[in-house]
Homo-oligomer: A and B are copies of this chain.
Amino acid sequence: MSTETIPFAKGLEGVIAAESKICKVDGVKGDLSYYGYSIFDLSESATYEEVAYLLLYGKLPNEKELREFLILAKRYRKLEPSVLTIQKYLAKNTHPMKALQSSYAALGGIWDSTYKEKFIETLIGYIEQTPLLVASHYRIMKQQEVITPDPQLSFSGNFLYMLSGKKPPKEEEKIFDKILILHMEHSLNASTFTARVVASSLPPVSSVISAATGSLFGPLHGGANEKVLQMIDEIGSIENVEKWIDGAIARKKKISGMGHRVYKVKDPRATILQKSLKAFAKDELSKKRLIISEKLEEYFVTRMTEKGKQIYPNVDFYSGILLNSIGIDPILFTPIFAIARVSGWAAHVREQWEDNRIFRPKALYIGEEGKKYIPITQR
């Protein structure tokens, strides 16, 4: 290879970083599948717990397998007093994502495992603990009493219960399951890639999961659905959509929740979330937001198509509106993304550890060479 043609893709765009059996993103057809099962089927028919099993073991469980899986998982459905104390001592207004990153690492001091041990059970433990860690810190932050988890409830039901102190209606539990399923896995996004890179030096599970959380906290990764909600509320009325979008396009402002490096068509997750929102939005605010966002989509896509650009809604476009319609505080949107995505991280940790090689790419050196060291007094 000659030095003139060194191939270098910023952000590793287009570069293959791993082989994987976990997830296929079809950016042209607009489909996403986990271990061969389309997200359309999974989000329609499966529970969160079934899909977590699928991601960890590569197959859907039968009734017996699921029962055993739930018994194992629920062993980890308990608040760890030392982590709870740590959450209480975090500085006031510590962002929930920082609290989560810190809590995972602290949890690692209580139970953990490396690739040499039975790490799948530990991954299940971290998946099960995530909603507990998020809910307990949220209640502490709001100066409310922490709710003890309920082993009778489903994964989603228990989280919603631990947030509000009230057992959620079945319909909310189901919609929350669907939102989680759609966010569980998406190939080598930045946080999952982080999980694989960190896992590749073989630290214990807690170090990996904590690190991936830091990546998800970045606004280029998590957080866009919160911005969509703000944007929709700023637009405020269906009449204001065209003017607002024209202004934004003129100022070259990026529209939150639109466009994706992989999808060249509408993100299948956006399609599913939009449908759910249409079925679920009953209060006036949610109905209004739905109408504004659909109008925004229609008008923005038309304007982009005129310019020859294919930019469509991504997963973040309808998810924040839907989450808020079941009463979720926007500060929890990214932590909820983590509650879902931890299953994807776990699947990739498993795959990485089954055939590991440490990530150690090269940098193309473009700096100076052979500089002479001069003592500080002569500089």
Q: Which of B95, B106, B218 contacts A94 (CB 8 A)?
A: B106
Whether A125 sits at the interface, judged by CB under 8 Å, is no
Q: Kindly identify, within residues 22 to 77 of chain A, every residue whose CB is under 8 Å from any CB belonging to chain B.
A: 22-24, 33, 35-38, 41-42, 45-46, 50, 60-63, 66
Q: List the one stretch of A3-11, A268-276, A285-293, A309-317 in contact with chain B.
A: A3-11
List of B residues within 8 angstroms of A7 by Cβ: 16
- A243 contacts the other chain (CB 8 A): no
Interface string of A212-227 (1 = CB under 8 A from B): 1111111111100000
Complex CA gap A359/B36 in Å reads 25
Q: How far is the CA of A37 from the CA of B367 in the complex (A)?
A: 11
User: A197 and B193: CB pair below 8 A?
Assistant: yes
Chain B residues in 8 Å Cβ range of A106: 86, 90-91, 94, 98, 102
Taken together as a complex, chains A and B put the C-alpha atoms of A38 and B373 apart, in Å, by 8
State how many copies of this chain the complex holds: 2
Residues of chain B lying within 8 A (CB to CB) of residue A95: 108-109
Distance in Å: Cβ of A60 to nearest Cβ of chain B: 6
A128 to chain B, nearest CB (A): 18
List 22 A-B residue pairs with CB atoms under 8 Å apart, sorted by A's residue number.
A8-B16, A11-B361, A13-B360, A14-B361, A15-B361, A35-B371, A91-B106, A94-B108, A99-B109, A101-B108, A101-B210, A188-B361, A190-B198, A190-B358, A193-B359, A194-B194, A198-B214, A200-B220, A201-B215, A201-B218, A210-B214, A211-B214
Which residues of A approach B to under 8 Å, CB–CB? 6-8, 10-24, 33, 35-38, 41-42, 45-46, 50, 60-63, 66, 82, 85-86, 89-91, 93-95, 97-99, 101-103, 105-106, 108-110, 112, 187-191, 193-194, 197-204, 206-208, 210-222, 261-262, 355, 357-371, 373-377, 379
